[in-house]
Structure 1
């Protein structure tokens, strides 16, 4: 995985991160409402720890956003064409390292249902479900990463 690096996102990454979210195959069909009109804004990137996995030409392959005050993984996406390359695992390892450095003991994840298996494979434990709210009409798995 040495051809990929993780760096802190900057406000100028906003359009690329937004495009990655909105184009995700995982959010087609019934799940499309979750990302319709969604934007990863520059102010959001500057306010929260947002990290991107990039290739040698700084092409964004994935990213995550950690809400330190809430001890919650807010966003995690890997580009459709980059899935299966270990980028998601790399990002979750990085996220748990950042969480530990921030003094967190655990990180909560409210997962997109098709992503639950990924989180379980990368060390999260299921803790329950979150009821539907707003434009989300399905239960979502709730998971937790224990931070060493």
Structure 2
């Protein structure tokens, strides 16, 4: 597996991964429809995306935004049939390295509740909660990754 920058024209492919990965957690069609826009990559997100490839197959991606001193992990999704194979960990570590190289001291994550255990295992700390942009009344775990040496 290798991690590279996203290429022009991959927004649809990465959006498909995001939608499949979110649906993996058993969300119903109404839920998925409500968050479709939020999970659709635009040109700005594509420019910031790191893509995991296994051979010729794209199997995951992550999007980091922000400027020193802080940023945000906007997206990290892995194809459902590849969850548990180390792809999420590799993407997270790459994002952490990119964040440090960009001079960030921390980044936050508005995590899906199902993904919170993964992020905690990767060293994130829960600092509160945040309101979902897609689902009225839903709160998400707000996590932080401290990048200080």
- Settle same-fold status: TM greater than 0.5: yes
Query: Which ranges of structure 2 fall in alignment gaps of 5 or more residues?
Result: none
Deviation at 1:26, TM superposition (A): 2.7
Aligned counterpart, 2:138 = 138
TM-score under structure 1 length normalisation: 0.86
Distance of 1:132 and 1:56 partners within structure 2: 35
Q: As a proportion of its length, which structure holds more strand?
A: 2
Q: Which stretch shows the higher mean deviation, 92-101 or 65-74?
A: 65-74
Secondary structure of the structure 2 residue equivalent to 1:109: strand
> For the Cα contact (< 8 Å) 1:10–1:45, is it kept in 2?
yes
TM-score under structure 2 length normalisation: 0.86
CA displacement 1:64-104 (0-9 Å, x = unmatched): 00012360011110110000100000011000000000000
Distance of 2:133 and 2:11 partners within structure 1: 26
Instruction: State how 1:1-148 maps to structure 2 within 5 Å.
Output: 4-24=1-21, 25-26=24-25, 28-29=27-28, 31-37=31-37, 38-46=39-47, 49-57=48-56, 59-69=57-67, 71-132=71-132, 135-147=135-147, 148=149
RMSD of the TM alignment (CA)?
1.9
Distance of 1:134 and 1:116 partners within structure 2: 18
> For the Cα contact (< 8 Å) 2:5–2:51, is it kept in 1?
yes
Deviation at 1:132, TM superposition (A): 4.6
Distance of 1:55 and 1:96 partners within structure 2: 21
Distance of 2:40 and 2:113 partners within structure 1: 21
Aligned residue pair count = 142
